[in-house]
Structure 1
């Protein structure tokens, strides 16, 4: 009987993942990472207790492992560093790759488990070579957040929710009498609390008056700190120019925020680095690309320009390409890989 270590956050998705795999005949054990302790939106004390209760109800062993030190070094410090640089990071992608999957597999190896499973809505197709695919339920598909996991880890990963909708999952939890069946899911970065700006300020990024300028350098207002903004943002700019203006560029070193009209934020070319290719690809690469989770994919061509950097040319203009965010590459339902947006070129 194959053994699966199920990563449990205390929510309904990972709880039903545990149930489905047990029903499928696997020998399962629940594992919850204590990543930030009390006060987070994910895996705090209450979540750990919820995971433990579900495991107990299903007569499944459950353990908690403290990874707060690793989580701080790998995810939180990265998040703060990127914001200090005027970039907008996606810490969930880094957490999935380095903490949940990589560390989960390392722990699974030490305990003699064959697989690690999570409650993500995505699919792994295992033929001779494993492939990461979108979930059947496209509205919730979370393959974007897994686009930077290492290729060699796919063979060890199970994603049973890829065939289900959220309502399916909640119905299963209700039928089983799970206390988490109606539990709300975390919508924001789990470790920052209610306000990411307050979190950053506690981490040492202080509010400081700076200039808001147009693309041509004309000053049109002031702001309280560049960390309060991201590319494409409209609300909170507080300048009256008779038209809608959006954050166009952030100069962290000079504490300046540049704004422009919608059309100025449309790009057809940008650079990506730290790319993780899940599939074997050759260049120039014809594919589709998504630059944020909620953005639509667009057709694109990717060129290898050396030094582990790639130029992405899109067939249609893309709004608010944002340094620090993840660009995920696709061939139909299959994820080819993902990387970090370095800069916009036009």
Structure 2
């Protein structure tokens, strides 16, 4: 069923929220090329914009890691560079009609490259303030304490977050390969963050089994799970998520790319989770790298008849309900979204 063009136009008009989005992965090849030229960088295999665009067409996890660390993150050399990143984020959110976003920032690699946390975040929050003033798009940040660099580094990232103490930073997340750092290794970090009023999320069940999800929920006591796909392996895990009403930040195209538990969209557990009453949200994860925006994630699910229009409408509302937005603002935005969904036949 080819509904892509008309459906994108239709969905474009619906105000949306996104809660699983990595800021580095909204940057474009054009922006990275500007930075390479600005800083006269020598990036292996990149001699022109065409080479760089080919780098962005990742075909494996190793390609993804190489692009993310050795190309994108390596191209940022000056705090002012992050203004371009915020411009790309603004373009992404605007084109998808995303009016509220909770965005992951992973500072570790930047700090190892000599950046100062406060310098990075000053640019990001200033950019977010400007975007809100000009377009009424509200951006909050979740700091990824990064499981792959160990406990000491994670605690350092938390301490820097607490020291910066800005209302646009609303929580911490545990990202990175699950098999490199177990959730239980970071209990002290998450306990401290909770004591200071930060929200808690963790990537789990993306490339490790359902026990990773259980650990994040029961030991770290997170409020949301990033991905959560491997819950499909275990009925008790699924029931646990349902009973606790833990939202899953599902990223279909990303899951198709990693192929850890999903080989094709038809085998993706998102619909079975939804039918079981698990709290499901839909997100893009790394849009410019995986080549799929939030709009296109919804289209993918409609086009392949995984969900019908009214179910997509519920998923759009679920994204809102799963945010850490203040209740009054959430209630106000819900009225606006429901009205648009009703007018377009999505409720």
TM over 0.5: no
TM-score scaled by structure 2?
0.24
Q: Which has the larger radius of gyration?
A: 1
More helix by share: 2
More RCO (CA 8 Å, sep 6+): 2
More strand by share: 1
TM-score scaled by structure 1?
0.24
